[in-house]
A and B are shown apart, each in its own frame.
Chain A
Amino acid sequence: MLNIPQGIEWLATNQPALLALIRVLLFVLPVLIVVPGCIWWERRLLSWMQDRIGPNRAGTITLKNGKKIGTFGLLQPICDGVKLFFKEDITPGTVDRLLYFIAPALALFPAFAIMGTLPWGPTTGVYGYLTPIWDSEIGILYMLAISSLGVYGVVLSGYASNNKYSLMGGLRGAAQLISYELAMAMSLASVVMVTGSLKMSEIVKAQEAPLWGVAPVIQNWFIFTPFGFISAIIFLICMVAETNRAPFDLPEAENEIIAGYHTEFSSMKFAVFFMGEYAVMFIFGGVFGTIFLGGHNILPIRWDAMAASSPGYGLAHVLRDLNYWLAPLTFLAKCVTGITFYIWLRATLPRLRYDQLMALGWKFLLPAAVANFIVVAIWIIAQKVYGPYGAIAASVMAAGIAYLLYNAVRQVMNQRETSMEKRTIDLVDGTETVPSVRAVELV
């Protein structure tokens, strides 16, 4: 009988390079398979949210007696793929040919490289040999570095197209990605400081500790902690902005600049952009799950501690093993939750104006992330000096002070920045003049 765990151990000792290749394939292939599914899910869910029918024809099975069995258009992605493959590939005459051909590749590269340090399962036992691809000391930094490389695909495709709308899209993309990277890195810095490590697997491990250092059976998922909650919201907003998705899809705003940076790309080149976007969305869902939602754990309950305290082989042990072996599915579920959130946002929120986008990134998210960082530092010191309860009290006080300071600064700024502009409206028939006063906020 084939013993898989033993085989993997044999590979780890004798053929580490082969095992490394298996590790890469075990992550890349599922993502490649899932991406068409994501596109189907987006089209169906969006149509449902917008009260439309959506693509439901492809894949319908017609029986001999004329009855039809619907499959919710599950084969639609295959039809899309065939269409994209066989469409005429038009290369406009004035493009910068070299850059025009490498830009889609540059857009796809970060989407697949970003999964390098992401663990999709526990790093103990058999899964430890299979995930993550590179359990590096610099896991989070790697993720940030690779996601910042996404800007090259956008900018170079915009430049190479030699089209003013594409160029506008590329420039918008560059400015947006640079702005939101900072807030994203700052929000993750607080999580890193609490964990004391940049390793992704250590961050997951830190979330398996007791909640707030007091509740013994509940896991300390970072989204349940006050600082982690703020970090999570900031990260979530930045993550949407980093992937150029609605409501931050200004680089491809179709009512202003046609399709932005990929206007001039047709057929498979466009498909590559499309695929990269969905792959990176999917992976970012996984990153969010790993950093804030406890990684591979299904529920925030410490089965390990419960199993250790109960004798024999009881329910807690069964659930602990289930939690261990179902880890890949849990990770997949968290990725799907992430992508569902993306689709929900797209269906709900209108696109931001450009100045709103910049103001949100620089004037709100970055200061909030920095304030959060300071509060976390106070939390950590207080926990070391006064224990868990003292830490909670100290961080609440610090957050209060930070909020008051923020309000004070805002008031001072608002006094200078807003001015009351008087406007009068003259009624047409000229019988009376109604003066009205409106506050106009100067940007």
Chain B
Amino acid sequence: MNLSQLPNISPNLIIVGFLGMIAIVTAIGVVAFNNPIRSMLSLVANFFTLAFIYFSMGAEMMGITQIIVYTGAIMVLFLFVIMLLNLSADSVISTKKLDVKPLLAVPVGLALFVGLLSQVMMPFAKVTQPTAPSGWGGPQAIGRTLFTEYVWPFEIISLLLMVGIVGAILLARRRVEE
């Protein structure tokens, strides 16, 4: 392979590559750890790294939404549930028996990986400056799009969520004896 064919390495690319590496390692950690708390923390680190990747690309709003929604809310609920049930490694891992499923999973997984890679790698190979144009995806732009172009989907989704919350409360609440 000729070195001159490699893309120009810019500082931004190095940062994104470094963060991407951490993201991959933590993503492997999510499935590799036996302890549910460790896997969950890997997932938190993974989401955090993703947010940093967005920051480094100049998409601040997207990055902060990633932190607020995933790291700050959803993963805390995961943590809460895991702690409440006090799940330990033993209760998750079943006995080791010879199974065909892992053997089948390897080729399927590899095929999926290659398929994704062939689709994703080609456009990415030409990127040298991974940054968003300024003003792209800022709070003003998102707000304007959300409340003009997508106002009906937005309102309908909020209604749907409201119905979901009310339904959850109705199902979960203690029955009062009349």
Contact = CB atoms under 8 A, between A and B. Distances in A.
Contacts of A96: 37
A13 B41 CA distance: 40
Contacts of B41: 99, 156
Nearest to B65: A141
A198 B139 contact: yes
A149 B83 contact: no
Contacts of B21: none
Nearest to B51: A145
Nearest to A182: B73
A141 B142 CA distance: 14
Interface in B97-150: 138-140
Contacts of A178: 73, 76-77, 80
A158 B79 CA distance: 12
Interface of A: 96, 98-99, 136-138, 141-142, 144-146, 148-149, 151-152, 155-156, 158-159, 167, 170-171, 174-175, 177-178, 181, 197-198
Interface of B: 37-38, 41, 44, 60-61, 64-65, 67-68, 71-73, 76-77, 79-80, 83-84, 86, 138-140
Contacts of B67: 145-146, 149
B138 A159 contact: no
Contacts of B140: 137
B76 A174 contact: yes
Contacts of A99: 37, 41
Given A145-B67, A145-B68, A152-B44, 12 more contacts: A96-B37, A98-B38, A137-B138, A137-B140, A138-B61, A138-B64, A141-B61, A146-B67, A149-B71, A167-B83, A174-B83, A197-B139
Contacts of A159: 37, 83
A142 B64 contact: yes
A136 B79 contact: no
A137 B83 contact: no
A256 B71 CA distance: 30
B135 to A, nearest CB: 9
B60 A148 contact: no
B76 A144 contact: no
Contacts of A142: 64
A93 to B, nearest CB: 17
Contacts of B38: 98
Contacts of B76: 148, 151-152, 155, 174, 177-178
Contacts of A155: 76, 79-80, 83
27 contacts: A99-B37, A137-B138, A137-B140, A138-B60, A141-B68, A144-B68, A145-B64, A145-B67, A145-B68, A145-B71, A146-B67, A148-B71, A148-B73, A151-B72, A155-B79, A155-B83, A156-B37, A156-B79, A158-B83, A159-B37, A167-B83, A167-B86, A175-B80, A177-B76, A178-B73, A178-B76, A181-B72
A138 B139 contact: yes
A174 B80 contact: yes
Nearest to A136: B60
